[in-house]
A and B are shown apart, each in its own frame.
Chain A
Amino acid sequence: MLTDWQFIGIFLVLSPVFPLAPVVINRLLGPQKPNPLKNQTYECGIETVGDTWIQFKVQYYIYALVFVVFDVESVFLFPIAAAYDQLTLFAAFEVVVFVLILVVGLGYAWSKGALEWT
Chain B
Amino acid sequence: MSFNLIDFLRSLVQLTVFDYLRAVWADSMAPWLIEAILDIAGILIVSTFLLLIVIFLIWLERKIIARIQDRIGPNRVGGRFGLLQTVADVIKLLVKEQITPAGADFLAYNLAPLLTVMTSLLLWAVIPFADGIIGVDLNIGVFYILSISSASVVTILLAGWGSNNKYALLGAFRSVAQLVSYEIPMVLSLIVPILLAHTMTLQGLVLAQIVPYLLVVPLSAIIFFISALAETGRTPFDLLEAESEIVAGFHIEYSGMKFGMFFLAEFISTLFMSALFATIYLGGWRFFGLESLETWGRPIGFIAFFVKMFAVYFVFVWIRGTLPRVRIDQMMDLNWKFLVPLSLVLVLVVAIVEKLSFVTNSGPYLHAAIHLVLNLAVGLGALEILRWRGRRERTAYESARELEGLESDELVAEAAH
Expressed in whole angstroms, the Cα–Cα distance for A56 and B94 within the complex equals 36
Which DSSP category, helix, strand, loop or mixed, fits chain B's interface? helix
Q: Which residue of B lies closest to A78 (CB)?
A: B143
Collect the chain A residues with CB atoms within 8 Å of residue B176's CB: 60
Collect the chain B residues with CB atoms within 8 Å of residue A25's CB: 94, 257
Expressed in whole angstroms, the Cα–Cα distance for A1 and B352 within the complex equals 33
The digit string for B24-57, where 1 denotes a CB below 8 A from any CB of A, is 0000000000011001101110011001000000
Q: B199: CB under 8 A from chain A?
A: yes
Q: Which residue of A lies closest to B38 (CB)?
A: A7
Q: B80: CB under 8 A from chain A?
A: no
Q: Which residue of A lies closest to B117 (CB)?
A: A19
Expressed in whole angstroms, the Cα–Cα distance for A60 and B181 within the complex equals 10
Tell me whether A26 and B102 are in contact (CB under 8 A). no
Shortest Cβ distance from A88 into chain B, in angstroms?
A: 10
Tell me whether B181 and A67 are in contact (CB under 8 A). yes
Shortest Cβ distance from B309 into chain A, in angstroms?
A: 20
Collect the chain B residues with CB atoms within 8 Å of residue A1's CB: 139
Shortest Cβ distance from B370 into chain A, in angstroms?
A: 16
Tell me whether A102 and B344 are in contact (CB under 8 A). yes
Q: B328: CB under 8 A from chain A?
A: yes
Collect the chain B residues with CB atoms within 8 Å of residue A33's CB: 97
Expressed in whole angstroms, the Cα–Cα distance for A38 and B102 within the complex equals 9
Tell me whether B253 and A42 are in contact (CB under 8 A). yes
Which of B64-72, B230-238, B331-339 lies on the face that meets chain A? Answer: B331-339
Expressed in whole angstroms, the Cα–Cα distance for A83 and B199 within the complex equals 7
Near A by CB (< 8 A), chain B positions 54-107 give: 93-103
Collect the chain A residues with CB atoms within 8 Å of residue B383's CB: none
Expressed in whole angstroms, the Cα–Cα distance for A14 and B247 within the complex equals 34
Q: B138: CB under 8 A from chain A?
A: yes
Tell me whether A4 and B101 are in contact (CB under 8 A). no
Collect the chain A residues with CB atoms within 8 Å of residue B164's CB: 41, 52-53
Expressed in whole angstroms, the Cα–Cα distance for A25 and B257 within the complex equals 9
Which of B8-16, B183-191, B317-325, B401-409 lies on the face that meets chain A? Answer: B183-191
Tell me whether A82 and B121 are in contact (CB under 8 A). no
Partner of A30, one of B122, B169, B184, B256: B256
Tell me whether B173 and A56 are in contact (CB under 8 A). yes
Partner of A106, one of B146, B187, B247, B341: B341
Known: A20-B114, A26-B93, A64-B180. A78 touches B344 (CB 8 A): no
Collect the chain A residues with CB atoms within 8 Å of residue B96's CB: 26, 30
Q: Which residue of B lies closest to A69 (CB)?
A: B184
Shortest Cβ distance from A59 into chain B, in angstroms?
A: 8
Expressed in whole angstroms, the Cα–Cα distance for A64 and B344 within the complex equals 19
The digit string for B104-141, where 1 denotes a CB below 8 A from any CB of A, is 00000000011011100110010000000001111110
Expressed in whole angstroms, the Cα–Cα distance for A61 and B41 within the complex equals 44
Near B by CB (< 8 A), chain A positions 39-82 give: 39-44, 48, 52-53, 56-57, 59-60, 63-64, 66-67, 70-71, 74, 77-78, 81-82
Collect the chain A residues with CB atoms within 8 Å of residue B195's CB: 81, 84
Collect the chain B residues with CB atoms within 8 Å of residue A40's CB: 101-102
Expressed in whole angstroms, the Cα–Cα distance for A69 and B96 within the complex equals 45
Expressed in whole angstroms, the Cα–Cα distance for A29 and B99 within the complex equals 14
11 contacts between A and B (CB under 8 A): A6-B35, A15-B122, A42-B167, A63-B180, A66-B336, A78-B140, A78-B142, A84-B195, A102-B344, A103-B341, A110-B336
Other contacts beyond A14-B44, A52-B164: 8, CB < 8 A: A3-B35, A8-B144, A41-B165, A42-B252, A74-B188, A74-B191, A78-B143, A115-B332
